[in-house]
Amino acid sequence: MKRIILSTESGADLPDFLVKRHDVQVVPMHVVMDGQDYLDGHLPVEEIFDFYDRTKKIPSTAATNTYEYQAFFKRIRTEFPNSVIFHIGYTSKASVSFQNALTAAEDVENIYLIDALNVTGGLTAVIMYAVTLLEEEPEMDPIRLLEKIEAMVPKVRLAFLPGSLDFLRAGGRVSNMAYLGGALLKIKPCIELVEGKLVSTKKYRGKMSKAAESLLLDYLQQYDIDRQQIYFIYSIGLSETIKERITEIALEKGFENSMWIEAGAMISTHSGPGGFGIAGIEV
């Protein structure tokens, strides 16, 4: 039986220890700052926030291109001869990265591509679901694995509170009027992935400590999340006190495992410092 190799983009924010433990192959996306292109995963997130503090501008982001995917898939095939590649990609509704992967894979044998319709911790949840399936059944037929992952993708739920309205305004994601009203009332918009698209849903008022707790409680009321695992996402600047309280609530709500995932440069460029998110899989 050929070995199955999982791959994804850096926008999954898959922690390094999981990348190494499960041999997940990660191709970088891009952050462009001051006209210079940086590979996500190789640019310290602090530099993005420092750049914004100096210029009041945020970097732009870019997808992995077709040439990079061709080289990426070729490298995997070289390092893991006779393998079957399962590429679990960043949502096609928010980036052309997945389409570029499809184009690059046209001449590649034994490769399956899955649009996770998710980002950051939501994408990590899909990858780790695939990891668990392979751990339970290492000889699983690729077609069966594909069917199981594709059936699970719509069940992944991601909700995120950006850390800074200033950051959102600088990126043109909120109008000045919405920014002024939100800043005065200390309103924080909740961003969710709906059928792969980033959609602003609820709004929370007050400090992040209160908003984060309210978001988690609302999220768990709205979605029947599998209690085996929940993922929490944070961008640099979220206080340890908030993280401790969120972990405590997860334990109280019966979650067997919770994992904190740090947002990388790609995601932090859109969220700003001090952001908080939740990802899990509905039963």
Instruction: Let me know: does 122 contact 41? Beta carbons within 8 Å.
Output: no
Helical pair 97-104 and 66-79, crossing angle rounded to 10 deg: 60
Q: What is the CATH number of the domain that holds 82?
A: 3.40.50.10170
Cα torsion angle, 103, 106, 111, 115, sign: positive
Residue 23 phi/psi, 5° resolution? 55, 35
**Considering its fold, how many domains does the chain have in total?**
2
Question: Which has the closest alpha carbon to 150: 134, 129, 119, 121?
Answer: 129
Q: Which residues contact 66 (CB under 8 A, 6 or more apart)?
A: 100, 103, 104
End of a domain among 99, 125, 152? 152
Q: What is the CATH number of the domain that holds 187?
A: 3.30.1180.10
Task: Return d(Cα 57, Cα 48) in angstroms, integer.
Answer: 10
Domain finish residue from 152, 168, 202: 152
pLDDT digits (tens, 9 = 90+) for 12-59: 999 999 999 999 999 999 999 988 999 999 999 999 999 988 988 888
Rounded to 10 deg, the angle between the 142-152 and 120-136 helix axes is 140
- pLDDT tens digits along 177-199: 443 344 444 678 888 999 998 88
> Are 9 and 146 in a shared domain?
yes
Residue ending a domain, among 152, 179, 207, is 152
- Do 148 and 161 belong together in one domain? no
- pLDDT, tens digit, for every residue of 154-182? 999 999 998 876 666 555 544 444 433 44
Q: What sign does the CA torsion over 102, 117, 161, 248 have? A: negative
